[in-house]
Amino acid sequence: MIKKKQLTQMLGFNLLRICALLVILILAAILYDIISKGIGVISWRFLTTIPTDGMTKGGILPAIIGTFLVTVITAILAIPLGMGCAIYLNEYAKDSIITRLIRMSIRNLSGVPSIVYGLFGVILFVQLMNIGACVLSAGLTLGLMTLPWTITASEEALKNVPDSYREGALALGATKWQTIKTNVLPYAVPGMLTGTILGLSRAAGETAPILFTGAAFYLPYLPRSLFDQFMALPYHLYIMSTQHHSITKVRPIAYGTALVLIALIFTMNLFAVILRYKLRKVKTE
């Protein structure tokens, strides 16, 4: 009787171990495939020249720049609005219907499919506001999509600031805003930025929201203003692997693009993690 219990436990534990191992193996397989088949294509030339010969040769510079530019616009929208909303929720809001409504909206917005954000972007930015399909529209659309992320991360950071900091300032006669400005924000902003960078790294890899709000198949020039279309890494990977007129020939370029994309995302994540680590050190000093 006892032996059976032990046996079941052993089998059960190993089953769970296998589950975890499978997950790790999946990631390993993904990274191995992309790195091994993409690394051969990466070169300084690949990263700094434009595609030529019907995009069968050359590099992916416009896609890298395009992704960079659209991510900057995303940040400009998502950071202030995200921080502001988090400040309201954590510092000002009392438990009322409005507060619960705001929180419910945030949770729901984070579950809205990326293509629906794309549709919204088309209606609002491309058509109603008549900005057209460009860096600005795509950036604003991605910004809205990143909002729930930045709000949640910012709120976490604000929560981590001990209440004693606030009480101390208030006790000295500071107003609420002064308290926030001098005693809360300086300690929370680094944490807010960490979470935001993670959110931005997600935005950089998104394709569906930019499909119809500004991403282009091939442009022989870099975007000259916010109102130009742009090439982008995720969209470039998509067209290189599906719509290009010789997809087997450009398969290596597709792998290279995929590698650059995940390298970019990984670097942003690493940056955020290092930032988080450095902050913990500062706090404990």
Partner 1 sequence: MRKIICFIATVAVLSFSANVAMAKSDMVDIKGSDTLINVVQKLAEIYMKGHPGSTISVTGGGSGTGIAALVNGKCDIADASRGIKPKEVEDANTRGVDPKRVVIAIDGLSIITNAQNPITKLTVDDVGKLYRGDVKSWKELGGNDTPINLYGRQSNSGTYDFMKEVVMKGEYSPNMKSMNGNAQIVEAVKQDLGGVGYVGVGYVKDTTGINVLQVAANPSLGYFSPTNSMDVKSGKYPITRPLNQYLNGEPKGAARDFIIFELSSEGQEIIENEGFFAIPQEYQRYNNDLLGRSGEPEAKGTKYSVNGRDGN
Partner 2 sequence: MAKNNNFKERFIHGLFLFNGLLVVAVLIGIFILLIVKSAPVFKEVPLKDFLLKARWNPTATFIEPSYGMGSMFVGTFMVSIGALIIAIPLGIGTAAYLSDIASPRVREITKPVIEILAGIPSVVIGFLGIVLVGPVISKIFGLPNGLNALNGSILLAVMALPTIISLAEDALKSVPLSFKEASLALGATHWQTIIKVKIPAAVSGIVAACMLGMGRAIGETMTVLMATGCSIAMPKGFLSSVQTITSTIAIELGEVPYNTTHYYALFAIGLVLFIMTFIINMISDIALHKYQKVTK
65 binds, among partner 1, partner 2, none (CB under 5 to 8 A by kind): partner 1
Indicate which of partner 2, partner 1, none lies near residue 218 (CB less than 5 to 8 Å, by partner kind): partner 1
Contacts of 63 (CB under 8 A, 6+ apart): 231, 232, 233, 235, 236, 257
Interface with partner 1 includes 130 (CB under 8 A)? Answer: no
Lookup: tokens for 22:
């499978």
From 9-17, 25-33, 80-88, 216-224, give the range in contact with partner 1 by CB under 8 A. Answer: 216-224
Q: Which does 35 bind (CB under 5 to 8 A by kind): partner 1, partner 2, none?
A: none
- Least Å distance, CB 85 to partner 2, is 5
The one of partner 1, partner 2, none whose footprint includes residue 54, by CB under 5 to 8 A per kind, is partner 1
Report the C-alpha gap between 28 and 14 in whole angstroms: 20
With CB under 5 to 8 Å by kind, the binding choice for 4 among partner 1, partner 2, none is none
Cα gap 127→145, rounded to integer Å: 18
Partners of residue 215 on adjacent β-strands: 230
Report how far residue 34's alpha carbon sits from residue 233's, in angstroms, rounded to the nearest whole number.
15
Structure tokens at 246: 């010789």
Closer to partner 1 at the Cβ: 66 or 209?
Answer: 66
Give the up-direction half-sphere exposure of residue 81: CA atoms within 13 A in the CB hemisphere. Answer: 15
Say whether residue 189 binds partner 1 (CB under 8 A).
Answer: yes
Query: How large is the angle between the packed helices 97-111 and 135-159, nearest 10 degrees?
Result: 130
- Choose the binding region for partner 1 from 93-101, 148-156, 168-176, 221-229 (rule: CB under 8 A): 221-229
The residue ranges that bind partner 1 (CB under 8 A) are 52-55, 65, 68-69, 72, 132-133, 189-190, 193, 216-226, 229, 239, 242-248
